Amino acid sequence: DTGVSQDPRHKITKRGQNVTFRCDPISEHNRLYWYRQTLGQGPEFLTYFQNEAQLEKSRLLSDRFSAERPKGSFSTLEIQRTEQGDSAMYLCASSRLGTGEGYGYTFGSGTRLTVV
């Protein structure tokens, strides 16, 4: 297992375009999280899946954002009508239910989005 994979690593898009990011978690992990990190800040929680069910969404996740995890494996995060304020690093993390919270999450390397 190579850990949590995110694709693409970098994305530059024009304002108003739609973008989609993909996250492949560690295969035996049934919990998946999306976070956003802007420059000089810590990661901020966006949303959480347990298997295919989206159980929690942050108020940061506006109507332009949607996340899916159709078969409880990989997940996608789509941003519609991108704005310059969406420029950030989007981080995916996964963890395994029942291992104890002490294991924390395993994060991917992130997708850096630049909206021009």
Partner 1 sequence: GEDVEQSLFLSVREGDSSVINCTYTDSSSTYLYWYKQEPGAGLQLLTYIFSNMDMKQDQRLTVLLNKKDKHLSLRIADTQTGDSAIYFCADPSGYALNFGKGTSLLVTP
44 touching partner 1, by CB under 8 A:
yes
Count residues contacting partner 1 (CB under 8 A)? 27
**For partner 1, which is the closer residue by CB, 60 or 116?**
60
CA atoms within 13 A of residue 111's CA, in its CB half-sphere: 26
Farthest CA pair distance, the chain: 42
23 touching partner 1, by CB under 8 A:
no
Which of the ranges 21-29, 40-48, 62-70, 80-88 carries the binding residues for partner 1, by CB under 8 A?
40-48
* φ, ψ of residue 16 in degrees (nearest 5): 100, -15
Which of the ranges 12-20, 22-30, 65-73, 100-108 carries the binding residues for partner 1, by CB under 8 A?
100-108
| d(C-alpha 106, C-alpha 33), whole Å | 10
55 touching partner 1, by CB under 8 A:
yes
Find the binding residues for partner 1 in span 59-88 (CB under 8 A): none
Chain center to CA of 27: 16
User: What b/e string do you get for 54-68 counting C-beta neighbours within 10 Å, with b at 16 or more?
Assistant: beeeeeebeeebebe
Q: Which residues bind partner 1 (CB under 8 A)?
A: 4, 6, 31, 33, 40-45, 48, 55-56, 58, 91, 93, 101-110, 112
